[in-house]
Amino acid sequence: MRIVIALGGNALLQRGEKPDAAVQRRHVRRAAQSLALLAADHQLIICHGNGPQVGLLAQESETDPALSLPYPLDVLGAQTQGMIGYWLVQELHNAGMPAVAVLTQTVVDADDPALAAPTKFIGPSYDEQPARTLADQRGWQIRRDGDRWRRIVASPQPRGLVEIETVRALADGGRVVVCGGGGGVPVVETADGQLVGVDAVVDKDLTAAMLALRLGAQRLLVLTDVPAVMRNYGTLAATPIHTIDVDTLAGMRFPAGSMAPKIEACIRFARASGHAAAIGALGDAAAVLAGTAGTTVVPVLVNAQHGGEMTTPAGESALHELKIEVEAELAMAESSHPEDAASVPVAEWLFDQADAEREVIGLRSLLGAVEALEAGSGPGDRSTAAAAKQ
C-alpha cells in the first residue's frame, strides 16, 4: 500500500524543549524507527513539518547584525528542508530503510487571500507579555496556542508541486521519498513561466494531502505530538475520537493553524480518494495505520449492526450527537478569549470581540435548547433535533 505520511515539526521538537541539534536528532531517530515498521510492508512518501525549526532560523536571521535584511521565509524553509531531510534520510538508512530527500517547491496563487491573513504558527512559544513585546519589536503577528503564545505567518493553499514527476518516478521505482518539507518552498509562477519565492510557509498537512491524491496513495497518515483528535477539546469533558466520517468531522471546529489543517487535510483526502486518513502520535504509527490508535477519518461511517449500511440515528441519539457538536463549538468559541481583545489595539485583533461574544451567547442558548429537547424527547422523535439545529 502506498502511504503518504505528514510528520509534524512539533513531533521532532516538542514544546518547551531546547532547539539543540542533538535533541532534534534524537526525535528524528525515534521517528525513523517508527516509520521503519511501516516500510517493511508499505511504500512510504514522507512530508515533514518545520514550524519550530523555521521559526528558530527566522529569529536568528532577524537578530543577525551582519544582515541588511532578514532572510525571507521561503529561503529559510528551503534551509529546513536540507537540515531535516538530511537527518531523516540518514536515520531512515540507519533503521534499514534507504531513502532520498527531494528539495521541493510548492506552487501557490499570488492572490491567495491567506497571504494577507496569517494563521500558521512558527517558532517557540512564549508567555503572553514576552510574546507581545517581541511582536512590537519585530512587527510580528501573534496568537494564543493552547496556554502560550506564538508567532503566526501567512500560509497560502498548495496548488501544485514543481517536482511532482521526480517524486512520482522515485516512488514508482520503490524508493522511500522525503519531500514537501515544511509544505514545500512556496513559489508563484509568473506570466512568462518564471518561479518566484513567496515570504510565507505552506502547511505540510495540506501539501501531504495534495501529494497523496496526485500520487494515488491508499492512505494518508498525519503523525504528530498528540494521540488523537479530541471531542470537546479544551474542556474537562474532552475524549478521543476513534473513528469519524468526513461530514461529521467537517461540522466540528478546531484551532486554526494547528489541528485545523490536519483535519482539513484528512477530509480532503478521504472525500476525494474514498480511502481512509488517520491522525495520531508518531510513536503509535503502526497502530494508527491499523486503526487501533489515533483517529481514523473515513468517507462514510458504516454501521455493522445494520448490514453494513450507513444508518441515520433515532431522535434520542441524534439529539445527543447534536449536543456533543454544540458543546465542541462552544468550547472552541470560549477558548478564543474575547475578553483579551479589550487590552489589544484594534489593528491587532484576530477576531471581532463583539462577534465572538455573540457567538458564545448564541451557542449557550442553543445548548440549553438541545438539552431541554433531549430531556423531553422520546424514541423516533428525530424532528426535534433538526428543529434545534435550525
Residue 298 near residue 365, CB atoms below 8 Å = no
Cell triple for residue 252?
466540528
d(CA 136, CA 128): 12
Tell me how many helices (H) and strands (E) the chain has: 13, 17
Q: Where are the alpha helices (DSSP H) in 178-300?
A: 204-214, 246-250, 259-273, 285-290
Using the predicted structure, report yes or no on whether residue 196 has a pLDDT greater than 90. yes
Distance CA 103, CA 82 (A): 7
Q: Where are the beta strands (DSSP E) in 134-290?
A: 141-145, 148-153, 160-161, 176-178, 185-189, 195-197, 219-224, 230-231, 239-240, 243-245, 277-281
Per-residue confidence (pLDDT) for residue 20, from 0 to 100: 92
Q: Is 55 a catalytic residue?
A: no
Percent over 90 (pLDDT), the chain: 55
Kindly state the cell numbers that stand for 41.
Answer: 510492508
**Residue listed under C-alpha cell 536571521:** 61
Is there a catalytic annotation at residue 10? yes
Beta bridge partners of 189: 195
Per-residue confidence band for 122, with pLDDT thresholds at 50, 70 and 90:
confident
pLDDT for residue 365: 67
Catalytic-role residue among 8, 50, 85, 120? 120
pLDDT digits (tens, 9 = 90+) for 52-83: 888 889 889 988 999 998 899 999 999 999 99
Could you tell me if 179 and 45 are in contact, meaning their C-beta atoms sit under 8 angstroms apart?
A: yes
DSSP secondary structure code for residue 252 in this structure: S
What is the rounded end-to-end Cα distance, in angstroms, of the chain? 43
What was the pLDDT predicted at 52?
85
- Alpha-carbon distance values, 282 to 2, 8, 286 (Å): 18, 8, 9
Among residues 8, 262, 280, 315, the one annotated as catalytic is 262
Instruction: Classify the C-alpha dihedral 118-264-121-105 as positive or negative.
Output: negative
The Cα 129–Cα 151 span in angstroms is: 13
pLDDT at 308 > cutoff 70: no
Q: Tell me: the pLDDT tens digits for 317-346?
A: 455 555 655 565 555 555 544 444 444 444
**Bridge partners (DSSP) listed for residue 298:** 245
Which range is most confident: 103-107, 329-333, 352-356?
A: 103-107
| Res 355 pLDDT > 70 | no
Identified catalytic residue from 9, 51, 55, 123? 9
- The strand pairing partners of 148, in sequence order, are 145
What whole-number distance in Å separates Cα of residue 176 and Cα of residue 97?
8
pLDDT tens digits for range 255-267 = 665 688 999 999 9
Q: Which three cell numbers stand for residue 156?
A: 497560502
pLDDT at 379 over 50: no
- Does 389 participate in catalysis according to the annotation? no
- The values of phi and psi at residue 185, to 5°, are -70, 120
pLDDT computed for residue 311 by the predictor: 41
**Average pLDDT score over residue span 25-37:** 92
Tell me how crowded residue 140 is: count the other CB atoms within 10 A of its CB: 19
How far apart are alpha carbons 245 and 249 in whole angstroms?
Answer: 6
| 120 a catalytic residue | yes
Q: What is the mean pLDDT of residues 228-233?
A: 87
Mean pLDDT of 301-312: 46
Lowest-pLDDT range, 5-9, 24-28, 179-183, 198-202?
5-9
Count Cβ atoms within 10 A of the Cβ of residue 166 and give its class: 0-12 exposed, 13-18 middle, 19 or more buried. middle
Mean pLDDT over all residues of the chain? 82
CA 249 to chain centre: 14
Q: Are 216 and 3 in contact (CB under 8 A)?
A: no
Confidence of residue 350 (pLDDT cuts 50, 70, 90): very low
Q: What are the backbone angles phi and psi of residue 190, rounded to the nearest 5°?
A: -80, 175
**Report field, pTM of the whole predicted structure over 0.85:** no
